Amino acid sequence: MIFGVLTGGGDSPGINAATRAIVLTAIDKGHKVIGIRDGWMGLIKNRTFKLDARQVSGILDESGTILCTSRTNPYKIKDGQERILATLAKKKIDFLIPIGGDDTLGVAHKLAAHGLKAVGIPQTIDNDIAETDYSIGFDSAINFVMQALDRLHATAHSHSRIIVAEVMGRDAGWLALLGGVAGGADAILIPEVRFNIDDIGNQIRDIHKKGKRFALIAVAEGALPEGSIEQVSKIGEKDEFGHVILGGIGDWVAEEIRKKTGYETRSVILGHLQRGGSPTAFDRDLATRYGVSAVKGCLSGKFDTMVSLKGHKMVYVPLEKALRKNRVVDLKRFSETEYFMKMSARDVR
């Protein structure tokens, strides 16, 4: 049998570990693997290459993807679907393993109705894919956010400043929430809950009154202030799946807080740094398990599914179910975090 592997959407640390596991498992079971470059574009333009054990040697600890990725939406390209199916047939690819977020897996699901035999692997630092506890890359990214906040903590304390850190997270605030709690943020703003900028200003003033002269705020790029209907975007462009390229809410929050409180305020966008760096042990293990399970899933006919981590178990979830809605932060979880942040403001140095 011949397996094809592609990576689509924004990259995340751990993809290479998954690719390595797919190649080594498939070869061990007597099969061949073809790498597809640049996500779905690679199948449209026939950009493929043979993947063997040599190519995946030494990539376990590397971020990025040796296959390269793109945000290509085949349904926006003339005859996109037909060209993909033609390349799969030409290269005699029996099974496809797409590694990506909801957009990439959504394309695999549409193609399943046209005969594609695929088992997907969830990867996105946003961790917003439903029906799995963890997507590849999320753990590495929250660790990066935590370390960034640790660094900002030291300088914010030394200068008695407010520092706003903008993190990724278009529709889901997991990165801001978990990275923010781990990095000791005093306020966390997420896309799921509209924030009131006056309340945030008052919260920062209260923190000062209690004797703490600095504060850290983690804001997800997709967070929205009350009364606003559009997420902040400096570029204003959309990708091929119709998502606006976000960025800039952190600067806005910092400026509003400076105006409202008079305290010295700075902002920093963590941006694509969150996508880099060597994957954590958790991500390497998760990606390896996903890779092995995806190959086994293909060989046992679990098509039109994605591998998923539920508790400690690997399971196969129908793509139709996983793609119904995003995995977002629930309000109970967010309120518990908010309670802790407000209460812990007493913890002054």
By the rule CB under 6 A, 10 interacts with ligand F6P: yes
Residue 176 or 204 with smaller CB distance to ligand F6P: 176
Binding residues for ligand F6P restricted to 60-79, rule: CB under 6 A = 71
Number of neighbours of residue 165 by Cβ within 10 angstroms: 26
Evaluate whether 239 touches 110 at the Cβ level (below 8 Å): no
Judged by CB under 6 A, does residue 246 bind ligand F6P? yes
Q: Residue 207 or residue 232: which is nearer to ligand F6P going by CB?
A: 232
Q: How far is the CB of 239 from ligand F6P (least distance, A)?
A: 6
- What radius of gyration, in Å, describes the C-alpha atoms of the chain? 22
Q: In whole angstroms, how close is the CB of 246 to ligand F6P at the nearest point? A: 5
Asked whether position 125 contacts ligand F6P by CB under 6 A, the answer is: yes
170 touching ligand F6P, by CB under 6 A = yes
Closest distance to ligand F6P from the beta carbon of 134 (Å): 15
Nearer to ligand F6P, 161 or 170 (CB): 170
Q: How far is the CB of 329 from ligand F6P (least distance, A)?
A: 14
Residue choice 5, 6, 8, 9 for contact with ligand F6P (CB under 6 A): 9
As a whole number of angstroms, the distance between CA 133 and CA 251 comes to: 31
186 belongs to the catalytic site: no
Q: Kindly state the DSSP code that residue 2 receives in the 8-state scheme.
A: E
**Number of residue whose CB is nearest ligand F6P:** 10
- Residue 173 in the binding site for ligand F6P (CB under 6 A): no
Q: Which of residues 252-291 bind ligand F6P (CB under 6 A)?
A: none
φ, ψ of residue 95 in degrees (nearest 5): -130, 145
Rounded CA separation 274/72 (Å): 22
* Residue-by-residue DSSP string for 6-32: EE-SS--TTHHHHHHHHHHHHHHTT-E
Binding part of the chain for ligand F6P, among 41-49, 76-84, 118-126, 337-345 by CB under 6 A, reads 118-126
Number of chain residues interacting with ligand F6P (CB under 6 A): 13
Per-residue H/E/C for 143-172 = HHHHHHHHHHHHHHHHHCCEEEEEECCCCC
Closest CA to 62 of 10, 147, 137, 123: 137
- Which of 11, 38, 102, 126 is flagged as catalytic? 126
Site for ligand F6P in 96-115 (CB under 6 A): 101
Q: Report if residue 181 touches ligand F6P, rule: CB under 6 A.
A: no
Q: 82-85 — which CB contacts under 8 Å span 24+ positions?
A: 83/43, 83/44, 83/45, 84/40, 84/43, 84/44, 84/111, 85/111, 85/114, 85/115, 85/116
Q: Which structure tokens are listed for 31?
A: 């099969």
List phi, psi (to 5°) of 7. -120, 135
| Residue 235 in contact with ligand F6P, rule: CB under 6 A | no
Q: Smallest distance from the beta carbon of 247 to ligand F6P, in angstroms?
A: 8
Of residues 88 and 223, the one with the C-beta less far from ligand F6P = 223
Residue 172 beta carbon to ligand F6P: minimum distance, rounded to whole angstroms: 8
Separation CA 97–CA 51 (nearest Å): 13
Active site residues: 126
Q: Which residues bind ligand F6P (CB under 6 A)?
A: 9-10, 71, 101, 124-126, 168-170, 221, 245-246
